[in-house]
Copies of this chain bind each other. A is one copy, B any other.
Amino acid sequence: MDALSDAPSPERLQAILDGIAAEMALVTDRGKVASYIPELARQSTAPFGIAVALPGGQVVRAGDSATGFSIQSISKVFTLAIALGRLGDQLWSRVGREPSGHAFNSILQLEQENGIPRNPLINAGAIAVTDAILAGHQPREVLGELLRFIRLAAEDDDIHINRAVAASEQATAHRNIALAEFMAAHGNLRNPVALTIGTYVHQCAVEMTCAQLARAGLFLVGAPGCPRLVSPARIRRINALMMMCGHYDGSGEFAYRVGLPGKSGVGGGILAIAPGRAAVATWSPGLNARGNSALGTLAMELLVRETGWSVFG
């Protein structure tokens, strides 16, 4: 798809983002930070940042858009892109493509569905994806490839893994290990659990700013001037998966209120894609009941209302 002609000018966009940041500063119900990862539990709910990356690479931004945060589950989008590049449709023998209807870390469906996770954007599915790209490699090789992919997408070499966050997650990874062991019991894990989970927690700990994350999302916008890292057909499929499954059991709500494919992370980040137009990143650590950034969701809703970027009309 070509860059669409009705896009707001960068100046107009700047005004919109400034307005949103100002409005966000006034919101009193800012959600709750994730409590189960000590490094995240220490965060404040005060920060809010937003950035929009346009085809060509220009970034418009407001608020705390230059503060780094761990992207957490947003990393699932990048590992999915890498896995599809490596394995193609063979990936779908190990993970499904349907919304789960359950919480992000649920093990229930794994039991009822023979260890095949519903989709690659819930924890169990992302662990299976990580396991798939690990095959025959060392964790540091896979993490290296992930960083190269993200840096290339963002055209920014200053993107790293936050070791303290990774260590903190590793220490409280019981539930993710349970998911991995359960898949191992069903033959849906090929590497030692410790290796796969070790890789998984490190990819969750990739640290970026809103500005970096928005730029890194441009490869899914698919317009001229965007990095061409995956084929147009694959862009559509990844966006479809983000729309259907990117916000766990709050995906329907995000589609209804925002109308863009997006992926949230428990660190408070959200990456959303306006196909053909822009990539948007928000960050605010307070989460709503479904584990998605409260202010981020609200900001996305306001942005789409102002820009008309909903894919639904």
- A273, closest chain B residue (CB): B313
CB <8 Å contact, A255 and B244: yes
Q: Is A11 an interface residue (CB 8 A)?
A: no
B109, B181, B250: the one contacting A181 at CB < 8 Å is: B181
Tell me if A158 counts as interface (CB < 8 A to partner B): no
Residues of B near A146 (CB, < 8 A) are: none
Find chain B residues with CB under 8 A from A141 CB. Answer: none
Given A101-B102, A252-B96, A252-B99, A239-B312 contact (CB < 8 Å):
yes
Give Cα A112–Cα B235 distance, bound, in whole angstroms: 36
Q: Is the CB of B174 within 8 A of A181?
A: yes
Query: Are B312 and A240 touching (Cβ within 8 A)?
Result: yes
A6's nearest neighbour on chain B, judged by CB, is B2
**Chain A: number of interface residues, binned into ranges:** 35 or more
Majority SS at the chain A contact face: helix
Count this chain's copies in the assembly. Answer: 4
Q: Are B251 and A98 in contact (CB under 8 A)?
A: yes
Q: Of A110, A244, A249, which is in contact with the most chain B CB atoms at under 10 Å from its CB?
A: A244
The answer to whether the Cβ of A175 comes within 8 Å of any Cβ in the partner chain is yes
Closest chain B residue to A274, Cβ basis: B313
Enumerate the 4 nearest inter-chain pairs by beta-carbon distance, A residue then B residue, closest first: A101-B101, A275-B313, A98-B252, A174-B185
Q: Would you mind naming 17 contact pairs between A and B with Cβ atoms under 8 Å apart? A: A98-B99, A98-B250, A98-B252, A106-B111, A178-B179, A221-B313, A235-B312, A236-B310, A237-B256, A239-B312, A243-B243, A243-B244, A243-B255, A244-B252, A244-B256, A275-B312, A275-B313
